[in-house]
């Protein structure tokens, strides 16, 4: 009879459960193979009348199953409010946690059970309890968008900037959840707008990752730092420029960003001498070596350079309209036109030329933009640049050679060939695969 009664509660057969219970031949303390009593299942189903009878018959309301879960935990998990409030009134223990370390307050915060949550706080449950991942009820409520719960927790002492094991605060989780109202609520309650998690991500960078322009504008308006960088060196400003987020970049500029802002110059970056020294001494000259031939970013590059490298004409147009210096040179001496020509961006080349890009600027290798388009074989771009060059400028288009080049065997020639090859690679003209293939040919003579 006891097993039948427990199964009836478990399967939701309420009438059968009531009949078996009225026969007064059931052991209310009987447990199944999971260590659960009939009270666990009655609480889970929200059968308040059966829960009351079982409690009156002496069943242990704090009995833990094999996972350490009590009837109150079952009631809260299924949002059985009346059953949960009854068990609390009967003196159910409020200090028990599940095997993930979640307290009853975590569960009510996650499931938006405001009435039960307020009762738990009234009875002394701490608002900032942490589970095994250092998550507080506030973090759970923020990620699930429960504004009333968040307000209640903050009113009762929850720390707004408490972070989990990954360094995420309620604000960062709200931004990840794309919840602008929650983001604003947390900022209104003093959340640190520039807090970074363990990955070095700020709320603004996360908003850019999510391309959530509403939250980007909100954070910028509230004073978020656009220069904070992640561990990978990515900041909101550079990410937005590289991913054609025109609204974000416009917002940054409207709030004080210099449209000609550039990375600081670093004379050590990409030094040719260090590359040649490596070529002469490396035992393994393949690209598997730890030596980095090509940085993702160049010292001194501007926002305009980033937009051109990414190939977004609309972003380039926006920056130029905002006053970007079209002829600004990075540390390598390259202008936006150099990068556009080297990467075959005909539409950007045309736009830059129409806006007075100087075709005669040379970089540190004494190369003009036209030299890169020519050697890569972008003849239409070469023709465009020629039309804007001084009269008499002549460039011979590059085509396939009729005969193979003579082998290069002497060390000086190999060095020069490697220098030329690296120059093409650094300019983005050659891919890694092309670079590796040509380098092998040179080294083999």
Which domains, and CATH codes, for the chain?
272-443 (1.25.40.20)
Per-residue pLDDT band at 429 (split at 50, 70, 90): low
SS3 call for 405: coil
Tokens of 235: 């900041």
| Sign of the torsion formed by the C-alpha atoms of 227, 230, 231 and 232 | negative
Q: Is the pLDDT of residue 375 over 60?
A: yes
Q: Is the pLDDT of residue 403 over 80?
A: no
Q: How far apart are CA 77 and CA 149, in angstroms?
A: 16
Q: What is the pLDDT of residues 277-297, one digit of tens each?
A: 433 343 333 333 332 223 344
Confidence (pLDDT) at 24: 67
Largest CA distance in the chain: 110
Per-residue pLDDT band at 121 (split at 50, 70, 90): very high
Tokens of 174: 């709200």
Confidence (pLDDT) at 411: 72
Rama region for 366: left / alpha / beta (φ>0; ψ in -120 to 50; rest): left
User: How many Cα atoms within 13 Å fall on the side-chain side of residue 198?
Assistant: 6
Q: How far apart are CA 366 and CA 164, in angstroms?
A: 53
Q: Is the pLDDT of residue 408 over 90?
A: no
Q: What is the pLDDT of residues 98-114, one digit of tens each?
A: 889 999 999 999 999 99
Per-residue pLDDT band at 309 (split at 50, 70, 90): very high
To the nearest whole number, what is the mean pLDDT of the chain?
84
Q: Is the pLDDT of residue 424 over 80?
A: no
Which of the 8 DSSP states describes residue 362? -
Q: Is the pLDDT of residue 335 over 80?
A: yes
Q: In the predicted model, what is the mean pLDDT of residues 71-92?
A: 95
Q: Which of 101, 163, 159, 161 is nearest to 132 (CA)?
A: 101
Q: How far apart are CA 240 and CA 252, in angstroms?
A: 10
Q: What is the pLDDT of residues 196-241, one digit of tens each?
A: 999 999 999 999 999 999 999 999 999 999 988 888 888 899 999 9
Q: Is the pLDDT of residue 125 over 90?
A: yes
Q: In the predicted model, what is the mean pLDDT of residues 123-137?
A: 95
Which of the 8 DSSP states describes residue 360? T
Tokens of 321: 């309209």
pTM value surpassing 0.85? no
């Amino acid at each position: 009879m006891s097993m039948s009664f427990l199964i009836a509660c478990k399967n939701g057969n309420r009438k059968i459960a009531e009949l078996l219970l009225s026969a007064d031949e059931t052991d209310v303390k009987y447990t199944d193979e999971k260590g659960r009593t009939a009270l666990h299942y009655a609480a889970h189903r929200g059968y308040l009348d059966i829960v009351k009878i079982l409690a009156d018959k002496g069943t242990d309301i704090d009995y833990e199953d094999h996972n350490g879960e009590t009837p109150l935990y079952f009631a809260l998990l299924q949002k059985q409010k009346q059953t949960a409030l009854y068990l609390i009134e009967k003196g159910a223990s409020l200090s028990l946690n599940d095997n993930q370390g979640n307290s009853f307050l975590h569960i009510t915060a996650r499931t938006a059970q405001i009435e039960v949550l307020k009762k738990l706080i009234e009875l002394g449950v701490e608002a900032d309890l942490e589970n095994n991942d250092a998550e507080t009820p506030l973090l759970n409520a923020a990620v699930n968008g429960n504004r009333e719960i968040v307000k209640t927790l903050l009113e009762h002492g929850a720390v707004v900037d408490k972070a989990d094991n990954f360094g995420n605060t309620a604000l960062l989780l709200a931004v990840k959840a794309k919840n602008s109202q929650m983001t604003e609520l947390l900022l209104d309650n003093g959340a640190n707008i520039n807090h970074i998690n363990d990955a070095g991500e700020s709320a603004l960078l996360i908003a850019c990752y999510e391309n959530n322009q509403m939250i980007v504008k909100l954070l910028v308006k509230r004073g978020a730092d656009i220069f904070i960088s992640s561990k990978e060196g990515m900041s909101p400003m550079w990410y937005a420029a590289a991913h054609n987020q025109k609204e974000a970049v416009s917002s940054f500029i409207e709030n004080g960003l210099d449209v000609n802002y550039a990375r600081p110059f670093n004379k050590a970056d990409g030094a040719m001498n260090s590359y040649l020294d490596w070529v002469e001494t490396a035992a393994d000259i393949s690209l598997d070596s730890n030596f980095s031939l090509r940085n993702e970013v160049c010292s001194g590059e501007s926002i305009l350079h980033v937009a051109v490298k990414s190939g977004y004409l609309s972003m380039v147009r926006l920056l130029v309209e905002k006053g970007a210096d079209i002829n600004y040179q990075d540390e390598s001496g390259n202008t936006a036109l150099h990068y556009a020509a080297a990467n075959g961006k005909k539409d950007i080349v045309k736009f830059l030329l129409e806006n007075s890009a100087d075709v005669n600027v040379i970089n540190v290798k004494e190369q003009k933009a036209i030299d890169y388009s020519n050697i890569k074989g972008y003849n239409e771009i070469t023709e465009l640049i020629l039309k804007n060059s001084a009269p008499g400028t002549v460039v011979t288009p590059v085509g396939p050679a009729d005969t193979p080049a003579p082998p290069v065997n002497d060390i000086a020639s190999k060095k020069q060939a490697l220098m030329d090859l690296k120059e093409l690679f650094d300019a983005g003209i050659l891919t890694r695969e092309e670079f590796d293939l040509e380098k092998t040919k040179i080294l083999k003579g």
